[in-house]
Amino acid sequence: MWESLKGYIRPGSEEDGLVRQVDFSRLPRHVAVIMDGNGRWARQKGLARIEGHKAASRSVRETIETSARMGIRFLTLYAFSKENWKRPRREVIRLWAFLRDYLKKEGRALMENGLRLKVIGEKKGIPGPALKELERVERVTATNSGMTLVLALNYGGRAEIVEAVRKIVRGGRVRPQDLDEERFAGYLDTAGIPDPDLLIRTSGELRVSNFLLWQIAYTEIWITPVLWPDFRTYDLLRAVVDYQKRDRRFGDVHS
């Protein structure tokens, strides 16, 4: 995927130096991101919180494009948690409006570049205009074969696990002795998607915030103090380079 980065990464830049350290044969197949720090970014600049969310759109766009150009197959962005409904009503309304407008503008780019959109989380409760746009983009990109962009919306890891158990109980066709981890994973929102290899959290917070609790059992975690609106290609490349330096043993012992 080095070729797809030519013309995108400026020769001689810090990003160029990092790209030259990347082993493209050992990329993380799935990168997940907890996008944190929009409010703090705005507060530091004396702006309303909503301005932090506006500024974050560039980070989203750049992270998607860089990931796709690198050859990462799955990118999951934690965009709206179940806990986020606790925020001021005006802010919540604006967030869903931003999402709707973003998809209207960027949906065509996803299609033209062969990317596929998948939404995880509870769709019930998502405001109608935003849900309509989400389902439209999901539908038109469903057969694309490029990177899959997963948006976690109205999502909570515990709620996802509970809902998986409900599906099994309602189905009534799985005997207890036949239920193993692989079969259980098939009832999760992420069925058919590999577990994340790399989880990135911005803003320096040291918690997973109810995100992909089942799926990140052996995920490598990379924390950066950079607030999400300031997150750029340089930061993503740093995360990938660091990931490739780690010894992933999955509980085993390597001699």
- Which sequence positions are flagged as catalytic? 36, 84
Provide φ and ψ at 169, rounded to 5°: -65, -45
Taking the CA atoms of residue 142, residue 148, residue 151 and residue 156 in that order, the dihedral angle to the nearest 10 degrees is 110
Helix 233-244 and helix 49-70: axis angle, to 10°?
50
- Let me know if 222 is exposed, middle or buried by CB neighbors in 10 A (0-12, 13-18, 19+): buried
Give the single-character DSSP code of 146: S
159, amino acid identity: A
155, amino acid identity: Y
Coil, strand or helix at 119:
strand
